[in-house]
Structure 1
Amino acid sequence: MLSWADELIQEYTDGRQDLKKRADQIDRDNPIAMEDLKHINSMIESMSFSLEWMTTGRQPGTYRGVDEKAVYQRRSYENIDLIPDIEMQLREENDINKKHLFMTKEEKIILADILASFSLRERQCYILHMAQGMSWSKIADELGVSKSMVQQSINRARKKINSRINAS
């Protein structure tokens, strides 16, 4: 469900939160513990730098180089393995529609751009609902969020799709 980039970003976010909790627990009166705090703060800074790089697709603090937002997620969507292949379903239904279903490279790029414009939650909810056919309740249970959050995420994703279609 999640792309490798989303998984890595989540791991770094969780790790940074754990480091921040550890830093909050350090005794500020102990000189040895203060040395540990310097190392922990250095790790937090490194993780924040890496997270910014992964989420924006460009090196923090520079204005040259990769100039695309969410470049890593965009590239992973170009493989489009997360949308189920319906060609087999059509063949199973007595060859109702014999035309070959495929996406051109341009269509894949457009779909990748649209998916990359979604937040992680919007992308999860939209794909589970539209591609996997899950109900809002099942999605809410699986993701551990409220049903209204799922509905709101799907509606925001649909608005982004409609604005992309209207812009074309």
Structure 2
Amino acid sequence: MQDLLKSYKETRRGLNAAYDVRREEAAKGNEAAMTERQLISEMRGEVEWVIEWLETGRRPGNKRGIERRAAYQREKLMDPLRMQAFAERGKAGSPVNLSEWQLEQIEDALCCLTERERDCYVMVHGQCFSLEQSADLLNLTKSSVQTYVNRAQVKISERVTSSLFLA
């Protein structure tokens, strides 16, 4: 991999030198040099793109990190099984039953939410309702439920990072 990166960097140096030569010739009014300069400029752009990809390990030009690409790849603020157990409050011999301490931690994380945010968050993450199902049950629009869930996630994230109780 390093050899490949090294060869692309050498190619970039050669293209830069050729571009400079063509620039001087184009300044003198040489039409062929102008065309070649444009072609070399495109080649330089492609080589720069490959070099960036090889150095960073991800596609150049992506503005978002991997954590913001898709719902299934996002960081989970709470363990989904714990959140579901919290919503169900089951006392049967399930392996996901929560201890009193775990219940208190979740309650502490959710205490900063408004009633509507809490309802939406628990329905979507605890009871595994879709946004559309939650919207129907709460007489809201799907986008409103999404907004409430997003606000709740921001508040929970802030609460988790600032609370000594949740550490």
With normalisation by structure 2, the TM-score equals 0.40
With normalisation by structure 1, the TM-score equals 0.40
Between Structure 1 and Structure 2, whose CA radius of gyration is higher? 2
